[in-house]
Structure 1
């Protein structure tokens, strides 16, 4: 019987859950799988038979006293408020589950603290890698505590400041895109969406993890390029003073963003993992406008994309007509050949195969092929 694999899935946005489902689909049907998350609804309709464990949602839980609130956060941790029953319940539920199921591998997407908890609890853990300024003590300790890291992107997008010792224990799956349905042809995509065939189209899109695409800068873009059609997909952030233009249309939430990406001449989007890999799959000039994220995750990812020539990194939205005209001209001349290979259709399967191999290797004795106990000397410390 295969050792179970358990996943912790952060419930902010949809990306963590979608990535988990893409990988779990590729695991053998005989592999026991469980998912621990504070939002089980993210897995509604998932076709694979897995166990879902609901965790308390600790976001916004009040610290009961001022003195507890004033206690400093340890340098090796990021979010560990004191006195929260919901946090104790979460940790207990996780540990009880790992113990009851005799979990062989705990895949964490994402939490540095849970990587440390897993090591203390004697459960081998795999941490999903994300971009960002993560050289702090908490992230380095989590990397050190894990039995490996899984980077769901191409190794060419790795940051130069990621430590060599951590890189050596990291598996790069290639660009993992969680959207399975897509079109390659621009004409068929435009026809399916009812968009004009003979006009330059810029698609601006954002996912569910942030505040939405800022609408005011797009109104300036529409005025700067009146012959271009700007189409927005996903949530918008409006300030209330914007002037609408006929060449700026809002489509809101849609079921297949990949159709819009295929229909575009230029894509303007944030640096969310799946969005990036959808654009790389389609091969479209990409203006990457990172949203604010903890540890500058999206800024660093946009920098990595720009460094290999796969995108234009847009740290600040243009506020004037000439700025938009210059930006659009840069995008028109972007060589999309630099995007080639940054998306991998086998990424989810490669990630699943690697996780399967890790749990088998970790629990197999080299001589007999069966788990064997190894004596461990007691540590008086």
Structure 2
């Protein structure tokens, strides 16, 4: 059995977990505060109590060693006790952590091998470094040739750069009927950011020469792949999943990084701009700036997206996890 801790902020962690789990032969139990019940991808689900911090917290970082461990916090106690009980009862072969320093330490303190998802941004703080030190393997969802952060280099021997993990790997292109005008698709995110439906409507009213569409801005789309394939230009945040989806579709893109802890999306946006893979801007552009931005994006060589290596990325991640889980069998024998 493999345990898979899925962080509850946004939807990217869950989408990535589902894709990787689909490539694993071993049974997988999801541990998360997200609503994963009824998910046929996982063999079992352990629902964790929601993270509802009190109005006042005491020393949540434990003097800078951790990220979230406030003193006398009931929610923290319940979450950790639930995970600990599952670890003791199940004795998993490995636990994948995406992403929590405290959960990684808890699993390792139970003697369980840990595979941690590395995240982009400035991760040289003591808490992240502690997690990376105790991890048996690290999975980076990008390519080392494009992004090789200094803080990850000490762990090069146990880091696997698998490429961008997307749920659309292997999907053939979809070809919706042409609209007659170039289509701009705006991809929103579950954690907000600069994108709103109102801003997209304003762009559509000002720039009639483009057909403006959106997903993830209050419009529920079960399968956005046809929309990605229809688009002539995609406007997206710089979340790892969204970027991998655009890379899989190989579309011109304007990337607007959302503010995230540790500069996660800014790091990805800078990498894409440096590689000539996308046009990046610091914030939502002014209405008058869109024609020039979209024209620049359409001049990009979309073949450069191949360098993000989305094809087979989830398989490579699953192989890394399976290797760690298999080490238990070698130890027993």
Instruction: Compute the TM-score of the two structures, normalised by the length of structure 2.
Output: 0.91
Q: Which residue of 2 aligns with 1:79?
A: 68
Shift of 1:177: 0.7
Greater mean alpha carbon deviation, residues 107-116 or residues 148-157 = 148-157
Indicate how the Cα distance of structure 1 residues 164 and 180 shifts in structure 2: closer, same or farther if over 3 A, else same.
closer
SS in 1 for 2:145: helix
1:225 deviates by 3.4
Alpha carbons 1:17, 1:43 under 8 Å: kept: no
CA contact (8 A) 2:168 2:248 kept: no
1:42 pairs, out of 27, 36, 45, with 36
* 8 Å Cα contact 1:217-1:319 kept in structure 2: no
- Relative distance call for 1:221 and 1:71 in structure 2 (3 A) is closer
Q: 1:306 to 1:44 in 2, by over 3 A?
A: farther
Partner of 2:24: 27
Q: Offset of 1:88 from its aligned partner?
A: 1.2
Q: Does residue 1:298 correspond to 2:265, yes or no? A: yes
Q: Deviations over 1:352-373 (max 9, x none)?
A: 12211122235524xxxx44xx
List gaps (5 residues or longer) in structure 1.
Answer: 237-251, 372-381
| Alignment gaps of 5+ in structure 2 | none
In 1: Cα distance, 2:297 partner to 2:41 partner? 40
Hey, what's the Cα distance between the residues in 2 that align with 1:121 and 1:62? 31
CA offset digits 1:280-328 (Å, max 9, x no partner): 111110111111222121111111122222111111222251x223212
Matched with 1:249 is none
The answer to which of 7-16 and 206-215 deviates more is: 206-215
Residue of structure 1 in register with 2:255 after alignment = 288
Contact 2:18 2:41 in 1 (8 A): no
What CA distance in whole angstroms lies between the structure 1 residues aligned with 2:55 and 2:329? 41
1:331 aligns to 2:297 (yes or no) = yes
Distance 2:318 2:61 in 1: 39
Q: Is the 8 A contact 2:233 2:297 kept in 1?
A: yes
Per-residue CA distance 1:163-222 (angstroms, 9 max, x = gap): 32123311122221124685525xx22x2xxx61x2111111113232571356545644
Q: 2:53–2:73: 8 Å Cα contact kept in structure 1? A: no
- Greater CA deviation, 162-171 or 210-219? 210-219
1:116 equivalenced with 2:111 (yes/no): no
2: CA distance between counterparts of 1:12 and 1:44? 20
**Separation in 2 of the partners of 1:343 and 1:206?**
23
Deviation for aligned residue 1:70: 6.3
RMSD: 2.4
Deviation, structure 1 residue 152: 2.6
The answer to whether the 8 Å contact 2:121/2:262 transfers is yes
Aligned partners of 1:341, 1:70: CA distance in 2, in Å? Answer: 43
What is aligned with 2:87? Answer: 98
1:231 aligns with 2:213: yes
Matches within 5 A, 1:109-258: 109-179=98-168, 182-185=171-174, 188-189=175-176, 191=177, 196=179, 198-211=180-193, 213-215=195-197, 217-218=199-200, 221-222=203-204, 225-235=207-217, 252-258=219-225
In structure 1, distance between residues paired with 2:285 and 2:117: 34
Number of equivalences: 333
Distance 1:71 1:32, change over 3 A: closer
Structure 2 residue aligned with 1:247: none
Decide which structure has the larger Cα Rg and report it: 1
Residues of 1 paired with 2:99 and 2:3: CA distance? 13
CA distance in structure 1 between the partners assigned to 2:303 and 2:27 by the alignment: 41
CA distance in 2, matches of 1:342, 1:14: 21
Q: For the Cα contact (< 8 Å) 1:157–1:301, is it kept in 2? A: no
Alignment partners' CA distance in 1, 2:307 and 2:97: 26
Could you tell me which residue of structure 2 aligns to residue 318 of structure 1?
285
On the 8 A contact 2:2/2:95 being kept in 1, the answer is: yes
1:53 to 46, 56, 72: 46
Q: 1:318 to 1:58 in 2, by over 3 A?
A: closer
Distance 1:26 1:112 in 2: 25
